[in-house]
Each structure stands twice: as C-alpha cells, then as structure tokens.
A and B are shown apart, each in its own frame.
Chain A
Amino acid sequence: MPRRKKDIANRFQRLARHLEKALGLGGAKTTRFIEGLSKNLGPMLENLEAAAVLSKSIPLDTLKSIFQAYLKQVAKDAGISWEDLQETLKDMTQLLQEWFRPEEIFQTASKLASFYLWSGADDLEREVDEFGMDTSLLEAVRPLFEFLFRDYWRVEVQGIENIPSKGRCLLVANHSGVLPFDGAMITIACLNEHRAKRHVRFLIEDFVYHFPFLGTFMHRIGAVRACPENAAWLLKKNQLVLVFPEGVKGLGKLYSERYQLKRFGRGGFIKLAMKNKTPIIPVSVIGAEEIYPVIWKSNILAKAMGVPYLPVTPTFPWLGPIGMIPLPTKWTIEIGKPVSFSRYKPKQAEDEILVNKLSEKIRTEIQTMVDKNLKKRKSVWAG
C-alpha cells in the first residue's frame, strides 16, 4: 500500500509538470488563455442561453462542436499548443482512471449509501455530536480527503503552531473554489499536523448546507450552518471555528477575480470575537482559487435550479461529471499570528464604524498574506 501511495504522488508531480508544459507556469499563458475564454465566452453564452430559453431546442452536439472550435482558437491566440493540451488531458484521465478503480468507487459509494440509508448499520450506540458531526463517517471518508490533501493538491501548511491547543479560536480565511474544499482541507490540516489534532468546525453557506446529499454530507463531517447563533454557541463551547466572511460572493469568484478578497460581509465575525473575547487567526489559502477556473456564471439556469450561481468552467458543464473534477493545483495554507480581541468590551460590538474598521484590518492582513504567498509561488501546478 505505501508503495502505491508514493507511486501516485510521483505521478501527480509528473502531471503537474505536464500541465506546466501545456499551460505554462500558471502565469502569463494560462491567464491569457482563461481570460481569452472569458472575454468572448461570456457574451456568447449569454446569447446561447437566451436562444435556448426562447426556442428550447439547441442540439447539444452543436453546442459541443462550437465550444471546441472556440477553445482551439483561444488556445492558439494565447500561444498554447493544442497537442500539449490534449496530451495533458489524456495523462490526467489515465491517472484518474487508475486511481479511481471501479471496485473502489463502488465500495466508497456503497459505504456512503449505507451511511445515508441506515446511518452506518453496524454500530447501534454510535452518536453524533450536538452539531451533527459523525466522527466515524469522517474517518470513513478521510482516505479520500487525505488523497486530495497529500497527493492531489500537495497541501503545504505553514504556521500551524499558531493555533492554540485548547480554548476558543476563530480562524478567518479567504474563500473560493465553488465547493467548500478549502474548509475541508483546513480541517484535514488541523487533524494531521496540529499537535492537539483539533477538530475544526467550519461554517458553510445556506445553499451548500441545504443542498440535497451534499449538505447532509458536509454536516456529518463537521460543517455547521453559518449563522451568528451557531458560531457563538460553538465559541462558548471553546471550539475551533473556521469562518469565510466572503461567503457566497467568495465561493463563486470568477477566475479573473481570483485572490482579490471580496467584502467581508457586515463584520459579523468581528462582533463575534468581541462578544466572546475570542482571538482571530487570519488564514490564507493559495491554490484553491484555481481548482475551478470559473469563466462565467449563468443566472437564468441558476435561478431555475435554486442555487445562487451556476459556474461555467473550461470543462464544466461541457464534459458532464468529469468536468467537475477540480484541477490539481499546488496549495499552500498559511496560518497567521492570532489577533487578540480581549481588550474590547462586548458593548463595542454595537459600534458599527469600529467593527467595519477592524473587519477591513483583518481583510487587509489576509490579502497581504495572500499576495506574499502568490509572489513566492513560481508555478500554479508545482508550487
């Protein structure tokens, strides 16, 4: 088993180099390519969407061929060789096929199904905690997350010692990646690398929390619906809470907006820290903002499906479920120094100007950390 793991890690390094060759280091070429896509694709898709709404009958094949021709053109304009790109895709598909063996997929799926239908039929006395986290489900799916953490995104964690071993603490991070993978990776980072192996409770947006299956799954592995009452409750119980003040605006960021932190809500996390005398630890996540390069967001379709946005990436929804596979970027998570809030009185949480000032301060701090780590990074794929 360990040998196989090492083999996989090596292969992912190779894939990263392939991607570098095809798309460049994630610098100028990739940006040109994806920005080229978004420049013209947005208007084109809008027209198509309007046409589809009007006539309801555009054959899918036509759409696919239009898109492929368009992709080729943009790649050529950006100076990317089409053959290299295809080579990389082939390599990636092969790697994924090797890793996701049908019987393994079947095993994981049946495990999840049994958890869903019988909540794990084996053990009758097993209980979830008061927020619905099921540690045994987390353990059951942990190999998948470990794979993503170690091999796929090769997450590098810096400054984990800044998280105290006990006591309440509020982690504040930049948010991205369409699905809250960043929350899951920070959770794994704390479980793996922190000396006290603390469980992180991360707060997720309503639409993820109430999304069929996905929401329940996130709930069981430790996510909590984002609302002030829940956060305050967790802090009172001296938990480690992770929040993404950018919220949905951050999660559905466009590729062109990557690493530009959005507005930090209305400073709810600052009020929480003041009221509960909780230190805030800024966290920067590098790499997550490129796993799904969102080039356009469909509003009409999203509304019909009841989600806040429907992302369109170079691979999704064109390639179907395969297009949902995130890109193997290299991640760096940096955990900053705690900012103490003990000198503020709970009453000062009413002072909106002060709250906004502090919220901006934390935001700037995270933005600075992000910028610093971006400068250090040579390649999106290999770090």
Chain B
Amino acid sequence: MRKPSKAAHTSNIAITGTSGFLGSTLLKNLDSNPRFRNILAIDRKQPPFKLKKAKWVSFDLIEGDADQKLAALFEKYKTKTVVHAALLTQPIRNLEEAHEVQSVGTMHLLNAAAAAPVHKLILASTTDVYGAFPDNPNFLTEEHLARGTLLSPFLKDKVEVEEQFLKFQKKHPTKVVTVLRPATILGPTVNNFKTHFFQNPLVPTAMGFDPLVQFVHESDVIRAFIKVLEKDHPGIFNVVAEGVIPLSRVIHILGKMPVPIPTVFLYPAADFLWYANIGVVPAEHIHFLKYLCIADGTKAWHKLKFKPVHTTLETLHSFNGRGLDKKEITRRLEEIEDATA
C-alpha cells in the first residue's frame, strides 16, 4: 500500500457556509487533518465547534460590497482554493431571500475569485439538480441536463449557481472549477429536511408509486471533497453510493409507517401545507416520491479515483444507528487505495 507522502500539504483553503451541515463537517475534518493548513472559514455565524488551527471570519456574502471585501480577504490570506457550501439546504418560503443567498451570494464569490489569485473553486451541489422526472433514465450521468429548474424555485437557484460556476470556468480557463453533486447525504450526524421526512412516525408516500432512491454517506462525501482539494479535477462529478433501494424499503428499515396517499390529493395537500407554513417542501418536490432521480458515479471513479466505502443500504443503516464497524471501514479504505495505486 502506498502511503501519501508527508510533503503533500494542501494549504490556503477557504470554506464558505461553515455553519451549514456540509460546510461545518468539512471544516471540522480539515481542521483536524494534518495534511491541510491555513484554513479560513467564511460565514455569518461562528462554526458550531471550537477551531484548532482554522480561522473564522464573520462575513455576509449578500451584502452590496461583498465582492470587493471578499477579494481583499482572499488577497490577505493568499487563498488558493475556495469551497463554496453557502447554499440553502432546504426550500424556504421567502423566494427573494433564497435567490439572494444562492444566486447573488455565488455571484459575489465568483467576482471576488476572479479578482484575487484564487486557483481552484469547488461547489457543493446536489444530484437533486437533475430533478425527478418520468422520462429520466435509471442512471443519470454528468452529461444529462440539470432540469431541476422545471421543478421548483429552490432547485432553479441551485441549477443557476452551477451554471454560474461553469460559465466562470469558460471565462477563466486557467482556473480549476469543480462541481460535486452528492446524492441525498445520510449518516450519524446529518440533519436536514430529508432526514426529518424519514424521522416522522408516519411517512406520506405517493399511492401506487415506489421509486428507487440512492444515498451517500457523509464520510464518503468528505472523502470526495478531500480528493478534489488535493488534486485538480475540473468538471462535474456525481458523488453517490453504490446500489439503490425502493423507497418503501427505506421506510420499513427505519421502522416507520408508510401512509400511501393518492397523488390527486397529495399535490394539493402538499401545496396547502407549504403555504400554511407547516410543510417543509413545496408540492413540486413530490415528484421525488414518484419518479427516479438516481445518478451514476462511474465518472468519479474513473477521474477522481473516488469510490464510496458505504453502499446505499449501509448508509441507511448508519443513519439508523447501525453503522459499519471501524475495522471494516479501514479494510475497505485500504482496498480502495490498493485498487487506485
């Protein structure tokens, strides 16, 4: 087995959105990893844990002059790599604010990165940008159009953010732009609207539909981020676990009760709940309970040499408190290392 050489340090990294789940998990990981140095956390709020070597700067990406300030900040800390994770994790009712946070925040970030000597930009997106549609093939590759725009304003903003990143790459061909699209992230610490959906004792489903779903383990997502931080890999990559599970089975494994509702009632009910300030997602997201949105991770394996440790089913078990034991995880990690060496 080839051990990574001690000299291979990656330094001068900035992470935005470090109070969100993905940003904070990544920050925590890099903070305790000796291979990373000079880490900058950019967020309005303080990270939810004590930092060892990283530095936190209170910063608001949607302020009018955020781009100039951010460019100055990048200059000051000699930032070479930026990980953009300051995106919404769940739909909010205030569409204007959502647009500001996602689209405008990204615009400011990219403008600053263009002005400062930033070499690499990494975006934390999601496979949801493909959208769940009846005419999706069983496996979506990176060449497939991100059609989430057609589903909901929340996903529309996400797609727009990706487009901004890809345009930036065209404009600045010498810089490296990477878009990572993880599937639904599950694991022992994750907490978002999708995990809430599975944590209710009763889980509404679309009657007569039982789509296959796909997850990815939080530790695997972090490993994928570390891969693209250490080496330059421009392009879009799906980050997904192997295997799929029917939704009904997920609900069963979690020990919840499915409540099948005819789709004719499901959409109006979800709309009502959304506008009544009770529902978590707008009605369009019910497409995800009916149709497939499963991505193919082959490209990440070929280009990044990234292979998930957990399968979709193991990810679900880990979320459910029955994770793999440490020995097994190290064994699999070594196996993957050997395969890539």
Contacts and interface: CB of A to CB of B under 8 A. Distances in A.
A212 B244 contact: no
A371 to B, nearest CB: 36
Contacts of B208: 211-213, 215-216
A230 B137 contact: yes
A103 interface: no
Nearest to A212: B208
A127 interface: yes
A215 B139 CA distance: 18
A227 B313 CA distance: 27
Nearest to B253: A124
Contacts of A330: none
Interface string A173-214: 000000000000000000000000000000000100011110
B205 to A, nearest CB: 9
Interface stretch (A111-119, A143-151, A156-164, A267-275): A111-119
Interface in B200-231: 207-210, 212
Interface string B285-296: 000001100000
Contact of B138 (A117, A124, A220, A230): A230
Given A128-B246, A213-B208, A119 B138 contact: no
B248 interface: yes
A206 B246 contact: no
Given A132-B244, A213-B208, A127 B313 contact: yes
Contact of A131 (B138, B245, B253, B258): B138
Interface residues of A, number: 28
B135 interface: yes
A212 B207 contact: yes
Given A130-B244, A132-B212, A132-B246, A118 B252 contact: yes
Interface string B253-268: 1000010100100000
Contact of A117 (B137, B248, B291): B248
A131 B258 CA distance: 23
B172 interface: no
Interface in B281-330: 290-291, 313
A215 B292 CA distance: 13
Given A130-B244, A132-B244, A116 B137 contact: no
B248 A116 contact: yes
B209 A119 contact: no
Interface in A99-126: 116-119, 121, 124-125
Contacts of A233: 137-139
A117 B258 contact: yes
A125 B245 CA distance: 11
Nearest to B143: A229
A154 interface: no
Given A119-B252, A216-B210, A229-B139, A210 B134 contact: yes
A225 interface: yes
Given A213-B208, A216-B209, A130 B252 contact: no
Contacts of A117: 248, 258, 260
A245 to B, nearest CB: 18
A224 interface: yes
Interface in A219-235: 219-220, 224-225, 227, 229-230, 233
Contacts of B246: 119, 128, 132, 134, 220
Contacts of A230: 137-139
A311 to B, nearest CB: 20
Interface string B129-168: 0000011011100000000000000000000000000000
A128 B253 contact: no
Most buried by A among B210, B244, B248, B291: B210
Interface in A33-85: none
A124 B263 CA distance: 28
Interface in B228-282: 243-246, 248-249, 252-253, 258, 260, 263
Contacts of A125: 313
Given A117-B258, A233-B139, A128 B210 contact: no
A206 B249 contact: no
A118 B248 contact: yes
A115 B246 CA distance: 11
Q: Which of B209, B245, B253 has the most CB of A within 10 A?
A: B209
Nearest to A124: B253
A119 B139 contact: no
Contacts of A127: 243, 245, 313
Nearest to B244: A130
Contacts of B248: 116-119
Given A119-B252, A121-B252, A128 B137 contact: no
A59 to B, nearest CB: 27
Given A216-B209, A233-B139, A128 B134 contact: no
Given A127-B243, A128-B245, A212 B138 contact: no
A125 B249 CA distance: 10
B243 A130 contact: yes
A381 to B, nearest CB: 35
B243 A116 contact: no
A130 B138 contact: yes
Contacts of A210: 134, 209, 290-291
Contacts of A130: 138-139, 243-244
Contact of A229 (B137, B209, B290, B313): B137
Given A119-B246, A213-B208, 11 more contacts: A116-B248, A119-B210, A128-B212, A130-B138, A130-B243, A132-B212, A206-B134, A210-B209, A216-B210, A225-B138, A227-B137
| 9 closest Cβ pairs, A-B complex | A212-B208, A229-B137, A119-B249, A213-B208, A119-B248, A216-B210, A118-B252, A132-B212, A230-B137
22 contacts: A117-B258, A118-B248, A118-B258, A119-B248, A119-B249, A127-B243, A127-B245, A127-B313, A130-B243, A131-B138, A132-B138, A132-B246, A206-B135, A210-B291, A211-B208, A212-B209, A225-B137, A227-B137, A229-B138, A229-B139, A230-B137, A230-B138
Interface of A: 116-119, 121, 124-125, 127-128, 130-132, 134, 206, 210-213, 215-216, 219-220, 224-225, 227, 229-230, 233
